[in-house]
């Protein structure tokens, strides 16, 4: 197909705009006017389109007068915050060569700090004509402006006072994954007009619950402006989770009760005041523009060949390592700049404490595969601001060689799905899990103990937003996603779950008791393991999604947290609080060094000793026994090799896990005279401690499917 020659359009008041500067990118108010700067390596002309405050009426078009180092730029001396704008970008329409310029389509500034209006699905949004025989090789001349959100110039001024990033030490970090909207939609203390917004999340009573839970950091699902897919809207559903980013600098408009971006800053300040961190789940691996049949909303129309990874033999098509239709090309310097500028904006201007990167392997992928020395990963490590915040990778994607757990560079933490899967399989009762389970308890040193990385690099989780809630994990063998209207075909079928005998709700008292104990077992495994634990909001009081393991489209009571706690939920909440308190009181449960089983001759102890139920150290035969489901992990705090001693550092603790369905008599290690074992946690008896002193030859009956934590104490203690 030959290149189309863009039609010339009228530019209003050509003398009104000045040349401005090619930096910073975006629309920047300097107190006197606004500088506009837009990257495009292949465009032939860029028009700035000015709209009224509602974004409904286009008032004028002004051609950006200068082009410097692939940046179109201009300066409006009479512009000010609140100005609503978009771009029309001219250039060749040659999909087979990677170019999809169409000046009929209004485009969102990739650096827009705020959006006005919502996307309204229309055939005019597409750069080609839907239904045309030439498909996406055709050219559509309809104006998309009535259907596209517009950009708004912002005033960044905000009185932060004494606020600053909290910077919780990694070894004291406990993540709390939450949806910025779903967490407050049903909370009784949040006023109805604030529910589902940043202002709602800033509610004192809601934050008090999170703080009292003993977590350190709120990890919010995507809050960048995102798109609701048309096929979901047609079903009365929407893209609830938000993994469909449209603008990397703008908060999602629906989350702003006030309509002002200062609301996000106020939320951060309130969270920081409680001593909690704010972590953002960010999606830089793809955009909402989809594949070659997707809409033209922003980057595709600005410079498709630069922003996206295209097939080398036919640039009409997109490389799809994200599984969503397109993949951003972070090997391009200006795309790399876009993403790192976005991160610096949220960390610097918005005071965010860290980031969790969705499908992070893509961000470290060159055209020939993943490399920990990718420019993006190196930039994050050396940037003075970014290297000071928490960086967490979801270390996999859909591309070749996409599974990279343990292979990110020092300075990064990683979601550890091996912890999730092994813990689930162990408590489900699967055979041959004992050795792998022990490795997960000790921070997955087999994956992370290299190059000076620490146990906290392993972000441990049993559940996440994607999958069953904890209650559903012990209540369903199969997914039940009928409400998603995809014939229950969506969501994983590999849940490694066990319903304890009945699918779904039951009034059977024994099954209900077993389910509660299993949930306590999972929480004990999570919070008593080395590494950085992550709790999903609502799991702490037994929240259910009624078997839906893919609530990505459920902006409804399925996806929202129900704060009406029943007696079981309140009991589980109290148990989780005990666990987080113990984790803080006993630093041996969150060591900064890996447990490796080495013998310290100077003090005559091992950092960790693995015990069989007969009290002897585990041997090869016992490790390899496929039916083995019980062991003890003896951690001697005196074996700490570095750091300043603190109360609880030198404690000796014994963690016993028993995934057998029957009681297992466990012989306790002998202790010096004047000392005894005291029980801190027993998931079979969650509301009491069996603190009776036990002699060195005592045998402790460990209930089937339970966890016991003991500490060695002196008699006077």
DSSP for 478-528 reads: S---GGGSSTT-SS-S------TTSSS----HHHHHHHHHHHHHHHHHHHS
* DSSP 3-state of 441: helix
Known active-site residue 507 = no
* Per-residue DSSP letter, 692: -
Describe the crossing of helices 333-344 and 299-307 by its angle, rounded to 10 degrees. 120
Residue of 381, 115, 379 lying closest to 223 (CA atoms) = 115
The Cα–Cα gap between 60 and 81 comes to: 17
Residue of 272, 154, 157, 279 lying closest to 223 (CA atoms) = 279
The Cα–Cα gap between 385 and 396 comes to: 25
Residue whose structure tokens are 């995809």: 486
Residue of 476, 457, 443, 463 lying closest to 540 (CA atoms) = 463
| Cβ-based neighbour number of residue 492 at 10 Å | 12
Q: Are 414 and 405 spatial neighbours (Cβ–Cβ below 8 Å)?
A: yes
Known active-site residue 617 = no
Residue of 35, 247, 275 lying closest to 169 (CA atoms) = 275
Strands 84-90 and 45-51: antiparallel
Q: Are 533 and 521 spatial neighbours (Cβ–Cβ below 8 Å)?
A: no
Look up residue 72 and give its two tokens: 């179109």
- Choice among 140, 281, 394, 555 that is catalytic: 394
Look up residue 274 and give its two tokens: 């409680």
The Cα–Cα gap between 437 and 444 comes to: 9
- Choice among 63, 94, 229, 358 that is catalytic: 358
Question: Which residues does the annotation mark as catalytic?
Answer: 358, 394
């Amino acid at each position: 197909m030959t290149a189309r020659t863009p039609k010339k359009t009228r530019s209003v008041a050509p003398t009104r705009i000045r040349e401005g500067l090619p930096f910073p990118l975006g629309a920047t108010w300097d107190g006197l006017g606004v500088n506009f700067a837009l990257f495009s390596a292949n465009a032939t002309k860029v028009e700035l389109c000015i709209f009224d405050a509602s974004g409904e009426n286009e008032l004028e078009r002004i051609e950006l007068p200068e082009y410097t180092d692939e940046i179109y730029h201009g300066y409006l001396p009479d512009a000010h915050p609140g100005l609503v704008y978009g771009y029309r970008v001219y250039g060749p329409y040659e999909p087979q060569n990677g170019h999809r310029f169409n000046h009929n389509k209004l485009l969102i500034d990739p650096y827009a700090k705020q959006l006005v209006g919502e996307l309204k699905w229309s055939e005019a949004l597409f750069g080609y004509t839907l239904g045309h025989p030439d498909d996406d090789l055709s050219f559509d001349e309809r104006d998309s402006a009535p259907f596209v959100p517009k950009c708004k110039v912002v005033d960044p001024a905000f009185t932060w006072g004494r606020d600053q990033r909290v910077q919780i030490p990694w070894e004291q970090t406990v993540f709390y994954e939450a949806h910025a909207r779903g967490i407050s939609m049903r909370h009784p203390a949040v006023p109805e007009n604030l529910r589902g917004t940043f202002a709602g999340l800033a509610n004192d009573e809601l934050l008090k619950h999170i703080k009292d839970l003993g977590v350190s950091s709120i990890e919010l699902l995507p809050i960048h402006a995102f798109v609701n897919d048309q096929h979901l809207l047609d079903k009365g559903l929407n893209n609830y989770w938000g993994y469909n980013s449209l603008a990397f600098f703008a908060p999602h408009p629906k989350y702003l009760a006030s309509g002002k971006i200062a609301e996000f800053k106020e939320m951060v300040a309130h969270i920081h005041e409680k001593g909690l961190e704010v972590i953002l789940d960010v999606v830089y691996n793809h955009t909402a523009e989809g594949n070659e049949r997707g809409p033209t909303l922003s980057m595709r129309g600005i410079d498709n060949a630069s922003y996206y990874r295209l097939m080398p033999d036919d640039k009409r098509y997109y490389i799809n390592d994200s599984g969503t239709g397109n993949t951003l090309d972070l090997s391009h310097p200006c795309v790399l700049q876009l993403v790192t500028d976005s991160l610096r904006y949220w960390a610097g201007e918005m005071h965010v404490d860290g980031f969790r990167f969705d499908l992070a392997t893509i961000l470290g992928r060159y055209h020939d595969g993943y490399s920990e020395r990718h420019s993006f990963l190196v930039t994050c490590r050396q940037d003075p601001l970014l290297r000071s915040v928490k960086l967490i990778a979801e270390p996999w994607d859909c591309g070749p060689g996409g599974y990279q757990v343990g292979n990110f560079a020092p300075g990064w933490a990683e979601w550890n799905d091996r912890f999730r899967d092994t813990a689930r399989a162990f408590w489900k009762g699967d055979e041959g899990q004992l050795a792998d389970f022990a490795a997960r308890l000790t921070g997955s040193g087999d994956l992370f103990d290299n190059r000076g990385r620490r146990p906290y690099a392993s972000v441990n989780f049993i559940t996440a937003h994607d999958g069953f809630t904890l209650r559903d994990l012990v209540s369903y063998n199969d997914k039940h996603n009928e409400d998603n209207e995809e014939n229950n075909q969506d969501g994983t079928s590999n849940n490694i779950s066990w319903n304890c005998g009945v699918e779904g709700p039951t009034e059977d008292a024994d099954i209900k008791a077993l389910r509660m104990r299993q949930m306590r077992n999972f929480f004990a495994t999570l919070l008593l393991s080395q590494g950085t634990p992550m709790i999903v909001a609502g799991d702490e009081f037994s929240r259910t999604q009624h078997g839906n393991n893919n609530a990505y489209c459920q902006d409804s009571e399925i996806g929202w947290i129900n704060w009406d706690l029943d007696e079981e939920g309140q009991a589980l909440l109290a148990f989780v609080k005990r666990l987080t308190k113990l984790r803080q009181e006993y630093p041996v449960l969150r060591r900064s060094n890996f447990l490796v089983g080495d013998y310290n001759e100077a003090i005559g102890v091992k950092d960790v000793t693995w015990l069989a139920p007969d009290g002897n150290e585990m041997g090869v035969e016992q490790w390899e026994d496929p039916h083995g489901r019980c062991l003890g992990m003896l951690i001697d705090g005196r074996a700490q090799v570095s750091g300043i001693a603190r109360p609880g550092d030198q404690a000796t603790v014994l963690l016993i896990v028993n995934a057998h369905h029957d009681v297992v008599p466990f012989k306790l290690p002998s202790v010096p005279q004047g000392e005894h074992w005291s029980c801190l946690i027993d998931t079979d008896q969650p509301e009491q401690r069996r603190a009776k002193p036990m002699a060195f030859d005592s045998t402790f009956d460990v209930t089937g499917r339970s966890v016991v934590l003991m500490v060695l104490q002196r008699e006077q203690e």
